[in-house]
Chain A
Amino acid sequence: AQTVTQSQPEMSVQEAETVTLSCTYDTSESNYYLFWYKQPPSRQMILVIRQEAYKQQNATENRFSVNFQKAAKSFSLKISDSQLGDTAMYFCAFFYSGGGADGLTFGKGTHLIIQP
């Protein structure tokens, strides 16, 4: 079974700063997908960014980018120019395409607080 570990339960930074959230995972598979989801206080689950394991290039979505280190099984999320609206729980998630059936495996989450 795959596992996803987020070692930072909570982080706090000032508005406009850059922040990096850590995620490591454990799998024996080679073809998989990784995701970061955002959950604001509204409880809504929002997909922030995704990475396909067979792609070496790190994914980027506006102010959000990842540092994907396949050999190290590391998948960190960098948020540049952080904004108050970035305050949320952030979950790292894993999906193995070969299994397919049992959805995503989530980490325990990091509560990110952006201070004004």
Chain B
Amino acid sequence: DADVTQTPRNRITKTGKRIMLECSQTKGHDRMYWYRQDPGLGLRLIYYSFDVKDINKGEISDGYSVSRQAQAKFSLSLESAIPNQTALYFCATSDLTGLARGELFFGEGSRLTVL
């Protein structure tokens, strides 16, 4: 099994629908991240979490919310999806020591299309 698992892998939805992307990890890491990837824009940070009680906004948090249900689970929600939220979404995990080594463990990505 993958260390970082994202569900769903692909999703097509309509404008105005609520969408949840889920992420779970078996690495035992405290830090979890949600990134968004768009062509020509690279990866941009949406939200990050140190632990269950610590949630922080990233560069592009507007229109998104997150929930850290447990150390191993970090979900991203789009309350009312809009077409410009069509993107590839990555969950990633790390600990501080590993981060300095570039050890950011990524999930396989969730491709979201909003029509």
Contacts and interface: CB of A to CB of B under 8 A. Distances in A.
Interface of A: 6, 9, 33, 35, 37, 43-45, 47, 50, 91, 93, 95, 97, 100-109
A47 B109 CA distance: 16
A93 B104 CA distance: 11
A101 B48 contact: yes
How many chain B residues sit at the interface, stated as a range, is: 20 to 34
B20 interface: no
Contact of B108 (A37, A43, A47, A95): A43
Contacts of B31: 101, 103
B102 A103 contact: no
B99 A50 contact: no
Interface in B30-55: 31, 33, 35, 40-45, 48, 50
Given A43-B109, A45-B90, A101-B48, A106 B42 contact: yes
B60 interface: no
A93 B100 contact: no
Contacts of A35: 102
A109 B104 CA distance: 17
Most buried by B among A43, A47, A107, A109: A43
Contacts of A109: 40, 42
B50 A101 contact: yes
Contacts of A50: 101-102
B100 A97 contact: yes
B90 to A, nearest CB: 7
B88 to A, nearest CB: 7
5 contacts: A9-B40, A44-B106, A101-B31, A103-B35, A103-B48
B108 A91 contact: no
Nearest to B103: A47
Given A44-B106, A45-B90, A97-B100, A103 B45 contact: yes
B96 interface: yes
